[in-house]
Amino acid sequence: MRITQYKALGFSCYGTLMDREGGVLEGLRPLLAHTQPKWLMAAYVRTLGELRTQAPSSGQKALHAQTYLRLAQDLQQPEDWDAGLAFGNNAGRWPIFEDAPGALMYLSKFYRLVLLPPADMDDATVLTERLPVTFDAIVDHRAEDPHSALDKALKTLDLDRSDLLPVRSPATDDPWQGVVDFPVCTLRRRHGLPWQKAAQAIDVKRCEYASLADLVHAHQIALRA
């Protein structure tokens, strides 16, 4: 199915619209002097997931404050409660990718826009209020059955699952993980890879791009094909 034949795009937040990695590493800057960014980011994702499993009702700020303190312990650094609270208070308010606003405005002319917030996001407006578009549907990311929540959101738009192309990041905790299998479009930001000119990319047989701007470019090429 060609990229132009879908009726909706479903976005996760981190790594697609919001620069979680940049925001997290900036917030963990005091700990970066004692390890490498790649290790710290992986440890952050792992620790946050463990804490969320242990306390599923905890809010995003509390989970991130605890994550900071746990990471400090792992690195044998003093537990700085002020730094932990600051990290928690900034959670979810990380930078928007530069290409996201313009890309969403363009894509909204051709697709219904669906948002699947991550499990640790208390309020999706932390993201949506900073974007120039209104999402047509926001999936209940805290539902016990995410598949049913997705179906319900699509039903409000009179759409089937086959009408939706999920746009996700390669992160192991991306909320699309486990909810959908194929087709799916992956944004591999920070890899410096050019967008795929091959026919299989435009046909979504292998939908991988280095940015939303590249996805927009591929859509424009598909329109002229």
- Residue 70's domain comprises 20-89
Q: Write down the pLDDT at residue 142.
A: 73
Residues of the chain with pLDDT under 70: 1, 190-206
Question: What number of residues does the chain have?
Answer: 225
Looking from the CA of 132 toward its CB, the CA atoms found within 13 Å total 13
Q: Write down the pLDDT at residue 206.
A: 64
Q: Do 47 and 7 share a structural domain?
A: no
DSSP string of 69-99, one letter each residue: HHHHHHTT----HHHHHHHHHTTT-PPBPTT
Q: Write down the pLDDT at residue 205.
A: 55
Give me the sheet containing 208-209, strands edge to edge: 137-138, 112-115, 8-11, 164-168, 185-187, 208-209
Residue 194: count of CB within 10 angstroms of its CB: 10
Residue 108: count of CB within 10 angstroms of its CB: 16
Q: Write down the pLDDT at residue 199.
A: 52
Q: Do 118 and 11 share a structural domain?
A: yes
Q: Do 81 and 109 share a structural domain?
A: no
Which of 89, 110, 127 delimits the end of a domain? 89
Q: Write down the pLDDT at residue 92.
A: 83
